[in-house]
Amino acid sequence: MTAVRRGFDWLSSAGEVVAFITLGLTVSLHDVAQRNAWGPGLLLAAALMLVIRPIVTEVCLVRSGLRASERAFISFAGLKGAVPILLGILLIGAPISDSGRYYSMIVVVVMTSVVVPGSLVPRAAKLLRVPMTEID
């Protein structure tokens, strides 16, 4: 059973790597800067991380039996990233005015929502008193 779990964990990690490589191949940071995507992207990322995601998480998990601190941790550190990238790629070929700018905004939102919380997960767990166990 452990070997199967490790195999699926590896497969999941490989899928994430492919998604982020795809992002890297489809966007240039120079283009993101040229399309004026940083301001709206950062604003949207802040709204998602600080308002929208916590509200949705709370609504979905309020009856789960988890402590408030555990729900807050899930809201902060939960899954994010790959699906918006893959769906955002559809914008590139879509007949939508300014689709490149929208895709650039998605890139900013995804980068922000992965890097900021991802780098703070251990601190957030400690602050919220959520135990973390390292898995080999």
Is residue 62 included in any domain, yes or no? yes
- Whether the model clears a pTM of 0.75, i.e. scores above it, the answer is no
Measured from the Cβ of residue 23, the count of other Cβ atoms closer than 10 Å reads 21
Is residue 37 included in any domain, yes or no? yes
Q: What percent of the chain has pLDDT over 70?
A: 90
pLDDT in tens, 79-122: 666 677 777 778 878 888 888 888 888 888 888 888 888 888 88
Range of the domain at 80: 2-127
Q: What is the mean pLDDT of residues 19-33?
A: 75
Say how far apart CA 25 and CA 44 lie, in whole Å: 23
Is residue 21 included in any domain, yes or no? yes
Cα→Cα distances 53→1, 22, 28, 33, Å: 34, 25, 28, 26
Name the more confident of 82 and 131.
Answer: 131
Is residue 59 included in any domain, yes or no? yes
Is residue 132 included in any domain, yes or no? no
Is residue 135 included in any domain, yes or no? no
Is residue 133 included in any domain, yes or no? no
Task: Give how many domains the chain has, as a whole number.
Answer: 1
**Per-residue pLDDT at 1:** 60
Q: Is the pLDDT of residue 129 over 80?
A: yes
Is residue 136 included in any domain, yes or no? no
